[in-house]
Amino acid sequence: MEIARVSNSSGTAGTLRGFNLFGVPVRLHFTFILLVIFLVVTDLGSGHTSGSYALFLIGLFASVLLHEMGHAFMGRRFGVRTTEIIMFPIGGLSRMERMLRPSEELAIAVAGPAVNLLLSAGIFAYMFYMHLAVPIKMSDLMQPSDVNALARLAYGNLVLAGFNLLPAFPMDGGRILRALLSLIRPEDQATRTAAWMGRMLAISMALYGLLSPQLMLVFFAFFIYLGAAQESAAAMGRTLTHGIPVRAAMMTRFHTLDHGNTIRDAANLLLSTSQQDFPVMLGGQVVGLLGRNLLLKSLAAEGPDAYVAGVMDRDFLSIEPGSDLAEILPLMAQAGRCALVMDREKLAGLLTTDNLSEFLLLRRFGMEPAV
């Protein structure tokens, strides 16, 4: 039975579409782009020639990508598709299409650092084969030059592997820790433990960065703390929604648009109701979805007299009323703020991020859902 359908063009907020790698969409978070600009500007005066330094940055970027592809390829072995890879300043994030069992998460998490270790070993082997000098002292590596660029890339992969193996979220080591703890305790408790260690690591890094001072560490610590907090919140959401069907949280009173309506009609409906996402109907069949952001963008580009049928999103997320809410949460995070609940071919309700948040809030205060 189909649980959901999600657009391939949808992506996480704050990211830009980059490219496809082995069929997996790679997206760049805006902070990653800012970090690249910062590195280029601050290292223009280093001992590298511009060409060798560019190759060094490309090598690091490729190493992170191959790390994430290690997760993706291992996921395929378990029949789990990677929906997208997001590049953040602290590394990449591979989003899987479903929740992972502990054994799957353990193998998939280990695969990423293993790729970096293999890359490092391969670079060192090449250097020994070509009789190239391998710097051992840290002082030799701290002075960038054309001579040590390859060695720095090899050691950089070792650092990537070691950093990702730290037993704290959002690093791979935190996922390994959660997978092992999930064998002896509930998944939400295992997640909270790994997330707590992630927050403690972030606080320690931030304090050290402020005292050093090394502001780049503070920058990284912010993202680690944010990732750990998000993972903890996601675990709480899975706990509160596990075993509960979508129909318990969906909106059943909503307005729709006809495919012959104009953007002006949609704007008037937006103003007169608290609803922000409108299914577009052709007879009794759903043919699209028009959300607030798309409505405003179309109003500016096409004008108020354009038809909603020409601007609506035809590739929307649709879910079944009996689907488990815990399995829908990651799909909602990727697809956007609204999903259409379809009972066979009939529109049964809407599931939005707003009413889902309210549902989770009520669940935390002990309210039992009406199924």
Q: How far is CA 98 from the centre of its chain?
A: 13
- Share the mean pLDDT of the chain: 83
- Provide the pLDDT for residue 4: 38
Q: CA 371 to CA 369: how far, in whole Å? A: 6
- Provide the pLDDT for residue 275: 92
255: confidence class by pLDDT, cuts 50, 70, 90: very high
Cα dist from 34 to 30, 48, 82, 293, whole Å: 6, 21, 25, 25
Q: Which amino acid, 106?
A: L
Provide the 8-state DSSP code for 101: P
- Provide the pLDDT for residue 16: 73
140: confidence class by pLDDT, cuts 50, 70, 90: low
Q: What is the pLDDT of residues 276-313, one digit of tens each?
A: 999 999 988 999 999 998 999 999 999 999 999 999 99
Strand pairing partners for 16? 28
Q: How much of the chain, in percent, has pLDDT values that exceed 90?
A: 36
Q: How far is CA 150 from the centre of its chain?
A: 31
- Provide the pLDDT for residue 123: 92
Predicted confidence (pLDDT) at residue 5 exceeds the cutoff of 60? no
Domain 246-364: CATH superfamily is CBS-domain (3.10.580.10)
- Provide the pLDDT for residue 125: 93
Burial class (CB in 10 A: 0-12, 13-18, 19+), 346: exposed
Q: Which amino acid, 149?
A: A
- Provide the pLDDT for residue 145: 62
| Residue 84 DSSP SS3 | strand
- Provide the pLDDT for residue 72: 92
R_g over Cα of the chain = 24
**For the chain, what are the domain ranges?**
8-241, 246-364
**Residue 59: HSE in the Cβ half-sphere, 13 Å Cα cutoff:** 19
Q: CA 263 to CA 265: how far, in whole Å? A: 5
Helix axes 102-129, 149-164, angle to 10 degrees: 160
**CA nearest neighbour of 241 among 325, 354, 148:** 325
**List of residues 6+ apart from 346 with CB closer than 8 A:** 284
49: confidence class by pLDDT, cuts 50, 70, 90: low
344: confidence class by pLDDT, cuts 50, 70, 90: confident
Provide the 8-state DSSP code for 308: G
More reliable by pLDDT, 119 or 131? 119
Predicted confidence (pLDDT) at residue 11 exceeds the cutoff of 70? no
